[in-house]
Amino acid sequence: MSEGMVYIIGAGPGDPKLITVKGLERLKEANTIIYDRLASYRLLSFARRDAEIIYAGKSPAGHTMKQKEINRLLVEKARAGKIVIRLKGGDPFVFGRGGEEAEALYEAGVSFEVVPGVTSAIAAPAYAGIPVTHRGLASDLVIVTGNEDPLKESSNIAWEHLAADTGTLILLMGMANLPEITKTLVKHGRSPQTPVALVQWGTRPNQRTLTGNLANINEMAVHAGLESPVVIVVGNVVKLRDKLRWYDNKPLFGKRILVTRAREQASALSEKIEALGGEALEFPAIVIAEPEDYVPLDQALRSLAVFEWIIFTSVNGVTSFFQRLRRQRIDVRELCRARLCAIGPKTREALENYGLIVEYVPGEYRAEKIAAGLSGKLKPGERVLLPRAAVSRQVLPETLRELGAEVTEVTAYRALPASWDGAAVKELLIRGEIDVVTFTSSSTVRNFATLIACENIGELMANVIVACIGPVTAATAMELGIKVDVVAAEYTIDGLVTAIMERQHSSS
């Protein structure tokens, strides 16, 4: 059996993109991932399909595993020859108990490495527009645990020195002790008017920032209902927030947006949402699958030379077509006679990635416009190959045949209903915790409705913004009783995101 290895990795403070390159590389290699409450769940999507994933989170309400159990588990998995990732929020050596885990591994004779992470002590204030040091305001920085009650008889923290310092004081895990912390700092000489910021869930789309001073911040926190995890920032640098805040000024900040695209494509939409400050909640309503029968597609691929046109109506169609072409060992040069048509810019881009030139892209990205645009280009009797999803609308082949074309339709892939349990998403909708639901095809609408399993889905979604990529998708939603609030003017992911932003701007 090969020797195991443990990597203690800092996942960063919450934004999944703040993990280091090295940390992400190791994560992708792991056999076993043991992760914490504060490590972004989105990072788990980078895990191998066969990776064992174990939650070991801790919160003020309780611990899933005690520290000794975690230590024992790390040793056990490594001794079984596994590449083990211990994924910890922030930096593992900044109040992350990573040192204790490393000690346990050393004593057990298990090999380990530590991959530092971005600590929330610096990142959370930065995302709130607060630099922890600043010329003329703070030339030193102290980071301490707030988990220790400052009123206990003996303390390991020199509160009198912290109170006398005029630099920036950062306290982690201190929300439960906030009243005692503020009183103690004032008692030891810090001015009651010293600015204070509380940054909850720093670097995440649900980040909240509250500012006040040592005299009033506790009352403000109680009134706002602020709970752990919170980074406490004490010092004059807090005054810069009004000028330097940037994250919570993003157009979709604080909005939770449901993405129903297939998992293979969801990331493109999710990344755009998150770049604009929103939270993308992925709930794929469809799964891309191979055709039930490859014979029709294979026959078409072996006869590519007979087609004058090949029309692609989706990126999935392009991907599936060329994957099968490669598996069948058919040379792409067999396409030399055919002129290519793509339904939109992303489909064109997918074809161009294969070094191919696209003859035609309609100005409006829908099947009806493809046929209309080809009316002056397509000659009667020309053969057209249409590789696309099973059970697609017939408007395109029917219109092409009316133009005199000989159309060969083949199934390149299937868009099947996903098998997820929709109960959790349904509960979020009931509680009003989803702001926007996006649909990028008619199949995502139908399958979403099936997964949610609600007798009156229109009523369930009455208070959420429903955004559709185009009029065909919108029509399907309305047929199912779902009101549609946003329809993209340009039927692309960029167009959908733009339409959502415009809706948010008009309603703000």
CB 493 within 8 A of CB 272: yes
> Is the CB of residue 326 less than 8 Å from the CB of residue 302?
no
CATH 3.30.950.10 fits 122-248, yes or no: yes
Per-residue confidence (pLDDT) for residue 212, from 0 to 100: 98
Mean pLDDT across the chain: 92
5 belongs to the catalytic site: no
Q: What percent of the chain has pLDDT over 70?
A: 98
Show Cβ contacts of residue 478 under 8 Å, excluding neighbours closer than 6 positions: 484
Angle of helix 471-479 relative to helix 442-452, nearest 10 degrees? 30
Q: Which two tokens stand for residue 20?
A: 């280091």
pLDDT band at 205 (very low <50, low <70, confident <90, very high): confident
- d(C-alpha 29, C-alpha 26), whole Å: 5
Task: Return the structure tokens found at 435.
Answer: 């702001």
Give the residue extent of every domain in the chain. Answer: 5-117, 122-248, 256-285+418-507, 290-417
Residue 11 region by backbone torsions, left for phi larger than 0, else alpha for psi between -120 and 50, else beta: alpha
Q: At what angle do helices 493-507 and 263-275 cross, to 10 degrees?
A: 40
What is the structure's pLDDT at 116? 97
Q: Which range (158-172, 187-201, 255-269) has the least confidence?
A: 255-269
Task: Give the pLDDT mean for 179-206.
Answer: 95
Q: Is 331 a catalytic residue?
A: no
pLDDT bracket for residue 59 (50, 70, 90) = low
Angstrom distance (rounded) from CA 46 to CA 28? 6
Q: Tell me if residue 173 is catalytic.
A: yes
Asked which of 59-63, 71-75, 220-224, 312-316 is least confident by mean pLDDT, the reply is 59-63
Question: Which phi and psi angles does 232 have, rounded to 5°?
Answer: -100, 125
Quote the pLDDT of residue 261.
87
Homologous superfamily of domain range 5-117: Tetrapyrrole methylase, N-terminal domain (3.40.1010.10)
pTM: 0.79
Find the mean pLDDT for residues 61-87.
90
- Tell me the C-alpha distance between 251 and 218, whole Å: 30
Torsions phi, psi for 65 (to 5 deg): -135, 145
How far CA 369 is from CA of 330, 365, 366, in Å, comes to 31, 7, 6
Q: Please identify, in words, the CATH class of the domain defined by 290-417.
A: alpha beta
Please write the tens of the pLDDT for every residue from 209-228.
999 999 999 999 999 999 99
**Residue 165: pLDDT band with limits 50, 70, 90:** confident
The pLDDT of residue 60 = 65
Catalytic residue among 58, 183, 250, 369: 58
Q: Which of 102, 36, 104, 112 lies closest to 72, judged by CA?
A: 104
Catalytic residue among 15, 36, 91, 435: 36
Distance separating alpha carbons of residues 456 and 458, to the nearest angstrom? 5
Give me the catalytic one of 5, 77, 173, 175: 173
Token pair 């009123």 in the structure block, residue: 151
Q: What is the pLDDT of residues 319-368, one digit of tens each?
A: 999 999 999 999 999 999 999 999 889 899 999 999 999 999 988 777 77
Residue 293, pLDDT score: 95
Is the separation of the CB atoms in 466 and 445 below 8 Å?
A: no
pLDDT in tens, 421-465: 888 899 999 999 999 999 998 989 999 999 998 889 999 999 999
Q: How confident is the model at residue 374 (pLDDT cuts 50, 70, 90)?
A: confident
Name the band, by pLDDT with cuts 50, 70 and 90, for residue 63. low
The CATH architecture to which 256-285+418-507 belongs is 3-Layer(aba) Sandwich (3.40)
Average pLDDT for residues 109-114, to the nearest whole number?
97
Confidence of residue 301 (pLDDT cuts 50, 70, 90): very high
Is-same-fold flag (122-248; 256-285+418-507)? no
DSSP structure class, residue 360: B
